[in-house]
Amino acid sequence: MKNVIIYNQINTTYHGGKRYTDENLINYLKCQVEWSLKLGWKKEDIIIGTNFDFEHMGVKNYHLKNICEYSGFNNFWYGALELMDRGVLDDDFWLHDQDSWQNTKFDFPKFDGEVAGCEYIGTRQWNCGSIYFKKTCKPILQYIVDLMKDNPDVPVSSDEEWIAFCRFREESQIKNYLSSINTAYNCGVTHHEKRYEQATKPVHVFSFKPDKKSDFDVVKDKVNKDIINIFKKHKLLGEGMSNKTAFLVFGTESSSTRFITDCLIKGGCEGQSEHDQLIDYEDPTAEKVVWRRSFPHKWDDPDNFPYIIKGTIGWPDTDAMYDRLKNLGYEVKVVVCMRDWFACSKSAVDIGYRPHTNTMEKAYGNSKESYKRIFSFINDKDLDYTVISYESLVFYKEKYLNEIFKTLDLNEVSDVGVRNGNDKYYLQEN
């Protein structure tokens, strides 16, 4: 069989766009090539399909021309079809993400149909980071790609939803050609314990990001130990990888982003909660930092405020924030602030000398757009995130906050001084 990785860097905010800095992505691909060669793969059987130049240890990329510009994840399937059309893939092949790692030598799995994947176990949906294709699969692959091409405006979050459609919907013409196989062929960190429990041993493929501590901690005692030095060599683990963490505190206007940021500072992070923050202009150096943005993040002149998308009402440029932090060696996590939408919107309108907006309708609309943008960013970058509820903080105070801080590896705090800011909006007579 062939060992295939496909990745196109595209400029889009849609799910699966430019998810990595160029250097980071190249390091992933180098690790994959080096590890595959160590496991005994022939150079000619390692197939890398990209829309950028890549070469390492005699393995050179195939330049892809059939690019999906609206969704990065779809390129996984577009690229496979293109390489079949070009005659590059003329055998059974294992197609996988750059963060799906072979753990043992294994043969191409046996299954009915033409294409196989592994379920999350927590749901019947496939994790599409590691898929197995028979050499006769081209009509099935063509059907999948045509479906994606013909429906660019359908609001799906990833290719996994397209494959779920193909597997479960009555109108699908290929569902009988798609088979689920044992999780030994793709055991990732989502629902990991269930997937690992049901996997026949040894596990052949683990999916995880070695430079993401929360990922690596899940699998570090299970993965082939020989791969560790390769991760370290290419700065995905160990000395070349920083243990620094940056928390992005996001939420719609009046959702308590400023207060929550102050709490993270008390918990051991470096940063400021004000509208204008030092990190906007100077690179942080601390091991743990916090960077706050309300959505929108308005000021007198949003076009001249840093890390704001120009020409908007003040929507934060989350991609630029992320890229800067990653280039500084930080693992990026998101803290999402949530507050009752009625009280939040009333506060946005009634805030005083500088109201965020002038009508409840606009406030509600901003909230809807805010969380759409926040969670799209989280999904696009595949980031670890935590939701903090303002109401739970009001009622349970330090006990609630410290339980969350344990999961974020932050110090315990005391006397957070929170008050119920919702009462005045619900208890007023009119």
Domain CATH number, residue 87? 3.90.550.10
> pLDDT class for 368, splitting at 50, 70, 90?
very high
Closest CA to 95 of 60, 138, 130: 130
Residue bearing tokens 């800067």: 324
Domain shared by 213 and 295, yes or no: no
Does position 353 have pLDDT exceeding 50, yes or no? no
pLDDT at 290: 97
Domain shared by 253 and 142, yes or no: no
Of 240, 257, 275, the residue at which a domain comes to its end is 240
Does position 331 have pLDDT exceeding 90, yes or no? no
Residue bearing tokens 């050609």: 177
Q: How far apart are the first and last CA of the chain?
A: 71
Task: Report, in angstroms and rounded to the nearest whole number, the Rg of the chain calculated over CA atoms.
Answer: 24
Domain shared by 324 and 253, yes or no: yes
Of 191, 211, 240, the residue at which a domain comes to its end is 240
Residue bearing tokens 């799910």: 15
Q: How many CB atoms lie within 10 A of CB 361?
A: 11
pLDDT at 305: 86
Q: What is the domain extent for residue 218? A: 2-240
What is the average per-residue pLDDT within 344-365?
76
Domain shared by 254 and 306, yes or no: yes
Does position 69 have pLDDT exceeding 50, yes or no? yes
What is the average per-residue pLDDT within 312-321?
92
Q: How many residues does the chain have?
A: 430
What's the mean pLDDT when you consider all of the chain? 91
Domain shared by 91 and 236, yes or no: yes
Does position 48 have pLDDT exceeding 90, yes or no? yes
Proportion of the chain in helix, strand, coil states, percent, rounded to 5: 40, 20, 45
Q: Is the pTM of this model over 0.85?
A: no
Domain shared by 233 and 330, yes or no: no
Does position 14 have pLDDT exceeding 60, yes or no? no
Cα–Cα dist 292/276, whole Å: 9
Does position 354 have pLDDT exceeding 70, yes or no? no
Domain shared by 83 and 213, yes or no: yes
Domain shared by 118 and 179, yes or no: yes
Cα–Cα dist 275/396, whole Å: 27
Per residue in 249-301, pLDDT tens? 999 999 999 999 999 999 999 999 988 899 999 999 899 999 999 999 876 67
Domain shared by 347 and 261, yes or no: yes
Closest CA to 187 of 169, 176, 201: 201
- Residue 362 belongs to a domain with what CATH number? 3.40.50
Does position 242 have pLDDT exceeding 70, yes or no? no
**Percentage of the residues of the chain whose pLDDT score is greater than 90:** 70
In Å, the largest CA–CA distance within the chain is 76
**Percentage of the residues of the chain whose pLDDT score is greater than 70:** 94
Of 240, 259, 291, the residue at which a domain comes to its end is 240
Residue 54 half-sphere exposure toward CB, CA atoms < 13 A: 29
Closest CA to 99 of 193, 23, 27, 22: 27
Residue 3 tokens read as 């060992």
Domain shared by 261 and 224, yes or no: no
Domain shared by 319 and 343, yes or no: yes
Domain shared by 91 and 186, yes or no: yes
Overall number of domains in the chain: 2
